[in-house]
Chains A and B, each alone.
Chain A
Amino acid sequence: MLPGSSLADAERDRLAIRAVAGGSGDAVAELYDRYGATVYGLALRVLGQPDLAEEVVQDVFAQVWREASRYDAARSTVAGWIVMLTRTRAIDRLRARRARPDQVAAVDAQAAGPLPSPVSTPETSTLKAEDTQLVRGALARLPDQFRSLIELAYYEGLSHSEIAARTGIPLGTVKTRLRNAMGTLRSVLA
């Protein structure tokens, strides 16, 4: 993927966000077409349950609609912003689910079911250009004991001490490994 086309995508996204901020429902539809599968895929990865993932998708685009004017292009790409909203919403729901242990058994049984197969469209590969490709490559190269900690923190929203409790790895080691892993990922962006 040429960097130029990615820049064009980023520019197109910024225009769409501005249109959303101006009240365009069509621009929401446009962003959904571009990022719906990304949002759904991430929500599904976090929650493992299609119905909850669908609710997250609705929440995220409602939030995009409400907060488009607060989007800060200097801070992140539109894709990054939407992904951040998605992760936050999904983790919120995951924590809410954990907080109701009476429902956990049923939920886990459902979560164990097969997930829909991933798709790859030109759009998703476009938004995966640049940072994403770099981060993904670096993530793939991380040794398992580092990557698994990143994934526990990212996809399950676990804190240092929760990761330590979950894995049996000493708290200090968890902190060091996470810090080193993040440092490695960050170094590829520099």
Chain B
Amino acid sequence: MTHDELRESLPAFALGALDADERQMVAAHVATCETCPAELAELERVVMGIGLEAAPVTPPPGLKARVLERVAGLSASEAKRSMPGRTPVPFTPQRHHDRPAASSSMLRLALAASVLIAVAASFYAWGLRSEIVALRQSVAASSAEATTLRGELTTLRRNWVEVTRTMNVLKAPDMLKVDLKGQGTMPDAAGRAFWSRTAGLMFTADRLPALPAGRVYQLWTITGTVATGAGTFTPDAQGAVSISAIVPPGARQPDAFGVTIEPAGGSATPTLPIVLVGKPN
């Protein structure tokens, strides 16, 4: 290769982009050439400039300590080998005070940066915490809502069963309808019973007076001289009530329906007087 050809390879040589054989030739030439070393030095400045173009990135926080540890390790092993002209000085953090103003401002800057990082980290953590709190709240709200919905669903199912049973009673071919009239102290009260051997019993009433605590109304079916309990109930604030009950298999058609006032839980036999009574027409 001529001098000019070798010189043309200097930029690639400086970049380290030559293949091995060419690199060796150029290196050998530069070692003996008068002009090429100066040109190469300039190209190396360019290459260093390219490297400084890469964006600096803050190293992880622990890295400085590891670097200094490793250097301290190197200096310790050098001390053992007692290398001449190199007296290791131990790392003494307090010696930072002896540094020129420029480097103590560096230290302050590093400290400020680490404070900033800590502040940023705590903001981040705070953000996460409030996010967790918000999520917990919305989970709690969702679960409360689910409970409410489950309750409503249960109520609706119960209502549906009630409605279905009512419908079945009302459309039963053997349906018996009996009106009940208020007696004695509650002349305004009125009720109506629907009875079907197959579909069950339904009873509604209006204008029933409120009862003292511990007392309930109880509905009876009366067949001959036998009264059978058909459920206890407490009317709402308007004195209205609607209940349904199952008719035991094999029951005979009742001769009458009656309502009495009983202790809470109901009684096995009616306690007189009868406050509402009615017979099939």
Q: Are these two chains actual partners, yes or no? A: yes
User: Residue B96 at the A interface, CB < 8 A?
Assistant: yes
**Are A91's CB and B47's CB within 8 A?**
no
Total A residues in contact with B, Cβ cutoff 8 Å: 78
- Give chain B interface residues in 89-134, CB to chain A under 8 Å: 89-92, 95-96, 99-100, 102-103, 106-107, 109-110, 113
Known contacts A25-B71, A189-B46: A44-B57 contact under CB 8 Å: yes
**Are B74's CB and A65's CB within 8 A?**
yes
Our count of residue pairs bridging A and B at CB distance below 8 angstroms stands at 209
Known contacts A58-B67, A122-B109, A178-B15: A139-B50 contact under CB 8 Å: yes
Contacts of B213 in A (CB 8 A): none
A164 to chain B, nearest CB (A): 10
Known contacts A12-B102, A178-B12: A159-B18 contact under CB 8 Å: yes
**Are B11's CB and A178's CB within 8 A?**
yes
User: Residue A76 at the B interface, CB < 8 A?
Assistant: yes
Known contacts A33-B110, A119-B58: A26-B99 contact under CB 8 Å: yes
**Are B57's CB and A136's CB within 8 A?**
no
User: Residue B41 at the A interface, CB < 8 A?
Assistant: yes
Contacts of B95 in A (CB 8 A): 26
In the complex, which of the residues B22, B51, B59 has the most CB atoms of chain A within 10 Å of its own CB atom?
A: B51
Known contacts A33-B106, A115-B57, A183-B11: A131-B48 contact under CB 8 Å: yes
A7 to chain B, nearest CB (A): 13
Total B residues in contact with A, Cβ cutoff 8 Å: 58
Known contacts A12-B102, A124-B56, A186-B43: A28-B67 contact under CB 8 Å: yes
**Are A45's CB and B54's CB within 8 A?**
yes
**Are B48's CB and A25's CB within 8 A?**
no
**Are A116's CB and B71's CB within 8 A?**
no
Known contacts A158-B17, A182-B14, A189-B42: A84-B47 contact under CB 8 Å: yes
Contacts of A134 in B (CB 8 A): 49
- Give chain A interface residues in 43-99, CB to chain B under 8 Å: 44-45, 50, 54, 57-58, 61-62, 65-66, 75-77, 79-81, 83-84, 86-87, 91
In the complex, which of the residues A81, A83, A128, A161 has the most CB atoms of chain B within 10 Å of its own CB atom?
A: A83
Among B56, B87, B102, which residue has its beta carbon within 8 angstroms of that of A40? B56
**Are A118's CB and B55's CB within 8 A?**
yes
Contacts of B16 in A (CB 8 A): 91, 153, 157, 159
**Are A132's CB and B58's CB within 8 A?**
no
Contacts of B74 in A (CB 8 A): 62, 65-66
Contacts of A128 in B (CB 8 A): 52
**Are A159's CB and B17's CB within 8 A?**
yes
- The answer for the CA separation of A155 and B63 in the assembled complex, in Å, is 23
**Are A80's CB and B45's CB within 8 A?**
yes
Chain B binding surface, main DSSP class: helix
- The answer for the CA separation of A124 and B72 in the assembled complex, in Å, is 26
- Give chain B interface residues in 148-207, CB to chain A under 8 Å: none
B69 to chain A, nearest CB (A): 9
- The answer for the CA separation of A157 and B71 in the assembled complex, in Å, is 28
Among A21, A25, A150, which residue has its beta carbon within 8 angstroms of that of B68? A25
**Are A154's CB and B15's CB within 8 A?**
yes
- The answer for the CA separation of A12 and B43 in the assembled complex, in Å, is 25
Q: In the complex, what residue of chain B is closest to A88 when comparing beta carbons?
A: B16
**Are A37's CB and B46's CB within 8 A?**
no
Among A25, A83, A127, A155, which residue has its beta carbon within 8 angstroms of that of B89? A25
User: Residue B4 at the A interface, CB < 8 A?
Assistant: no
Per-residue 0/1 for A167-190: is the Cβ within 8 Å of any B Cβ (1 yes, 0 no)?
000000001001100110110011
**Are A154's CB and B51's CB within 8 A?**
yes
Contacts of A158 in B (CB 8 A): 17
Besides A37-B58, A41-B54, 15 new A-B residue pairs in contact (Cβ under 8 A), listed by A number: A23-B87, A24-B89, A29-B64, A32-B68, A41-B56, A58-B66, A61-B67, A76-B44, A80-B45, A81-B48, A84-B51, A116-B57, A159-B18, A185-B49, A186-B46
**12 A-B pairs whose Cβ atoms sit less than 8 Å apart in the complex:** A12-B102, A25-B90, A39-B59, A40-B59, A42-B54, A58-B67, A61-B70, A76-B48, A116-B57, A121-B56, A121-B113, A189-B42
> 9 closest Cβ contacts across the A-B interface?
A135-B49, A182-B11, A118-B55, A80-B48, A37-B56, A83-B51, A41-B57, A153-B17, A40-B59
